[in-house]
Structure 1
């Protein structure tokens, strides 16, 4: 049976995300989960990775379901350490469970990083028109606009966490997009679920791209 390592920048298991991924990939692919924070307690992780002023922020999920906000530069170091461990374990395909922009890591197998795929597909579909973006944390809004601009996209960005029971906030954000002149909306985090996509579609009246399922459907072509 083919194996796929799924690497979260939080803690595993990702019970919120893996069922959607399994549904899309099918039963013939074995998923093995890893988390860069698995060796930390929750409090150790929160304390040691908390961002300072000026740090670019990444957001993920702890084993308990609690969200965690982290300094991007600290995350990069732990990602490389975990990739090395996975490679030594003999798995040659890895999905990084984050849509953030990451550097080129040392890894000899196939490393799927959603940032490049999502930005590439969205740019092709948008054809120069404005799109909407929803990210987990308000502190990510400014940097997300900048990153999409680097891709050549004009975006309207808003925030609502998939991890902090902010469904009411997500509904309100989706309602705000009703009056925005955007072609479609991207849920720009692997933490957003199919149920959250449905909420945003129904409330906004706009088409919605769910990063999680977009990436996995493309990934399936590699097996």
Structure 2
């Protein structure tokens, strides 16, 4: 029997993302939600996942709704251990709830679905060479995550806006900026962006691709 495991780099369950999955998945499908930062206090997270100058970072959501920025390499090592636990609980498919690029995640038997390996090819096919504008959560990710978009064949435009609030541009402001610079389609490159963010970005008058919605629809075909 199929069983879906999901792994967020934050804390599970992700109340912002699970409704998007629920909308397209069979209600009878068993699932197990896990998080890299489950059961850790903020002090423990800041100690064990501290960022380092010049190294790639990720941003994620905790159970209390707050966000935290963590080191990508340390997150990847911890994520690998969590994948093993999900396999031990008989998950036949495991979906990473993160669009960030990971170098070496793997599973023994379960099908591992990594958005960063699916989105570039799918978006390239959908956009057919038009100018894409990509909204990322952190300005630092514009350079660290840009490599995965090479399949587009055309340099994308980037702007930063966090789905979790805080200082910096809003999603609507980032979308308007990209539209003003010539973007024709927008992509929300973080699993934390949800339907309300799509609506805010759409105020710029452009089509908006929501990463987690696209991934959820694709995963629904194989579970």
Q: What secondary structure, in the 3-state scheme, does the structure 2 residue paired with 1:25 have?
A: coil
Q: Deviations over 1:160-187 (max 9, x none)?
A: 1111357971121122233222230100
Q: TM-score, normalised by structure 2?
A: 0.92
Q: Which runs of 5+ in 1 are unaligned?
A: none
CA distance in 2, matches of 1:171, 1:151: 24
1-10 vs 76-85, which deviates more?
Answer: 1-10
- What is the alpha-carbon distance in structure 2 between the residues aligned to residue 50 and residue 164 of structure 1? 21
> What secondary structure does 2:145 align onto?
helix
* 2:85 equivalent in structure 1: 85
Map of 1:101 onto structure 2: 101
Task: Provide the residue aligned with 1:140 in structure 2.
Answer: 141
Q: Is the contact made by 2:176 and 2:204 (CA closer than 8 Å) also made in structure 1?
A: yes
Per-residue deviation, residues 140-195 of structure 1 (Å, max 9, x unmatched): 12223343236534111111111135797112112223322223010000110011
Structure with the higher helix share, 1 or 2 = 1
Change in Cα spacing, 1:102 to 1:168, as seen in structure 2 (3 Å) is closer
Q: For 1:149 and 1:87, locate their aligned partners in 2 and report how far apart those are by CA, in whole Å.
A: 32
SS of residue matched to 1:213: helix
Structure 1 residue 19, shift from structure 2 partner: 1.1
Report the CA distance between 1:214 and its aligned residue.
0.2
Q: Which residue is equivalent to 2:44?
A: 44
After superposition, the Cα gap between the structure-2 partners of 1:33 and 1:161, relative to the gap in structure 1 and judged at 3 Å, is same
CA contact (8 A) 1:11 1:34 kept: yes
Question: Where does 1:20-99 land on structure 2 (aligned, <5 Å)?
Answer: 20-99=20-99
Secondary structure of the equivalent of 1:21? Answer: helix
TM-score relative to the length of structure 1: 0.92
Aligned twin of 2:161: 160
Matches of 1:54 and 1:193 in 2, distance apart? 29
Q: State the shift of 1:2 in Å.
A: 3.7
CA–CA distance in 1 between the matches of 2:91 and 2:149?
A: 32
Secondary structure at 1:206 match in 2: coil
SS in 2 for 1:204: coil
Relative distance call for 1:151 and 1:73 in structure 2 (3 A) is farther
Q: How many residues align?
A: 222
